[in-house]
Amino acid sequence: MQQVTLGLVGGGTVGGGVVAALNRNGALLASRLGLTLRVARIAVQDPKKNRSTRLPPELVTADWQEVVNDPTIQVVAELMGGTTTAREVVRTALSLGKPVVTANKALLSAHGEELFAIAARHGANLYYEASVAGGIPIIKILRESLVGNRVTRLAGIVNGTCNYILTRMKLEGAEFGDVLADAQRLGYAEAEPSLDVDGHDAAHKTGILASLAHGFWVAPEQVYTEGIRQISPLDIQFAAQLGYTIKLLGIVKMVGANSGDSRGRRKNPSIQVSVYPALIPNSHVLASVNYAFNAISVRGDIVGDTLFYGRGAGAEPTASAVLSDLADAALDLCHGSPRRVPPFVCHEGNGCVLGLDEVVSRYYVRLSVMDRPGVFSRIANVLAKARIGISSIIQPEGHAGETVPVILMIHDAPNAAMKRALAQIARLSVVKDTPVMIRVESLE
């Protein structure tokens, strides 16, 4: 049986998970592929470190170049993370014409356009299934399974840490800080949690999905990013009373998807690419995705609505995605087919990413106002002058004192107009504290 030799760069959670998965299911893979995958070299930062998965000491080195430059290594897996050394590893391997498998969403978000160009120049391929949503095969679905569809909307829960925190806040009525501390103790959140809770991890993933779905590269700075630190139990409680659940969503939405010119030619796509907490209806399946699980809803113009659900992080789900890529890389290598469906192809002209100010949305707004007559009219007057409509005003009962909460549900309005109106409302003498605004996504 033909054999393909693998070199791993990184032996931590993901790298160790891949070694363990190959030990467990290597024979199964061989029977399905008609070839064997053999790990021939593993580069790690500290060869003497104790690890949950034993790495054969004769295969371990501290020098990644020994792995990448070894002429017997046919496929390189970059599993170390980061964007500096990892970038050098991937660039070097691709320049040698070697296929590379990576789980590194930060690297692809920051340097993906460059790396795919290097791969194309040298006739290599870069596989990246594990970079988004762990064990959910969303990359292959967008790249291959939905190749005949225009993706008109994608909405995903792609960060398990944030989903874990929001789930417990909803079920227990707990404060953000208390749940975050517990998540850190349990290992769901890092000691420095900003990458997750401020939305940056989700933004890396959402940008990759947007680039893949629409065929032009979406730079990290084009992804509007907002985290969950400002979400309070009070907002989660009011959202529930209104029939909604708050989730951190990655949103990729085509604007004017069916528009064309006078000759019927389709216009270049404009898309919204954003990460923010949003109210979603309890009737939508994403509302029931809880704890550390991920889920991505994709709408294609032919297939309609689809949903993909599973574990979005951890050694085993990520290793499963890496094994899928290793299998593809080995088959492509052995059968001389380095390209299947190209990863990022400009298929409908040069698209553009809308700035958030141009995006139209519905909104949930919570105000803390003085409990006196005439308050509602002053607030409504500001919104009316901004041409922003109110769908409902709710003053929850049971809140006594000089100030009380007021909930506004706002009709569709441009983000820029909404920001200006809220700034004016915040300056009203009857409004105390900073207004809270959360977008509403109907996902219809």
Active site positions, annotated:
205
Q: Please list the alpha-helical segments (H only) found in 187-298.
A: 194-197, 200-214, 233-241
DSSP 45: S
Q: Which amino acid is at 236?
A: I
CA distance 244 to 251: 17
Q: Residue 73 in contact with residue 40, Cβ under 8 Å?
A: yes
The helix or strand, by DSSP H or E, that contains position 105, with its residue range, turns out to be helix 105-121
Q: Which amino acid is at 161?
A: T
- Those residues whose C-beta lies under 8 Å from the C-beta of residue 426, and which sit 6 or more positions away, are 434, 435
Q: Which amino acid is at 149?
A: N
- Those residues whose C-beta lies under 8 Å from the C-beta of residue 90, and which sit 6 or more positions away, are 76, 78, 100, 102, 107, 115, 126
Q: Residue 80 in contact with residue 89, Cβ under 8 Å?
A: yes
CA distance 328 to 146: 18
CA-to-CA separations, 233 to 34, 98, 333, 380, in angstroms, rounded: 54, 51, 53, 26
